[in-house]
Amino acid sequence: MHKIKNTENGVIQVSKEVIQTIAGLAAVDCYGLVGMVSQDLQTGISGILGRENVRKGVDVHYTEQGFVIDLYVMMGYGVKMKEVASSVIQKVTYVLTHIAGIPVAAVNVNVKGVKVPANR
């Protein structure tokens, strides 16, 4: 468990799994992202994780500046990867910081694959 905040009535703690799930769900809502993939995915679209397993495509560790979030994703063919990655970073940072109250030091997007349409 990671301590997020001390209050006068106690301490708020959040597990790594909760942070992974929140970050993963925020990421998959972004246009251009096909889905989250396992960190060890070599190739193949069969590795796309369903919404119930998005946390497996997210790694979290804590630094003095806040949490560092590493996302492992598959993008759609033809999207502007830099723009999609920027959108993912903004969304995940916003959701974790402003909605969940979790301090974020960095969000890193690791593109592990590209989904090519069947007609290509």
Q: What tens digit of pLDDT does each residue of 36-57 get? A: 888 775 544 556 666 667 888 9
Count: domains in the chain: 1
Range of the domain at 15: 2-115
Is 17 a domain residue?
Answer: yes
Q: What is the pTM of this model?
A: 0.85
Nearest to 95 by CA among 69, 62, 73: 69
CATH no. for residue 47?
3.30.70.1350
In a domain, 26, yes or no: yes
Let me know if residue 99 belongs to a domain. Answer: yes
DSSP annotation string for 36-88: EB-TT--S-GGGBPPGGGGGGGEEEEEETTEEEEEEEEEEETTS-HHHHHHHH
pLDDT of 69-79, one tens digit each? 999 999 999 89
Task: Decide if 120 is inside a domain.
Answer: no
Scanning the structure block, which residue is given the tokens 């694959």?
A: 113
Asked whether residue 31 carries a pLDDT value surpassing 90, the answer given is: yes
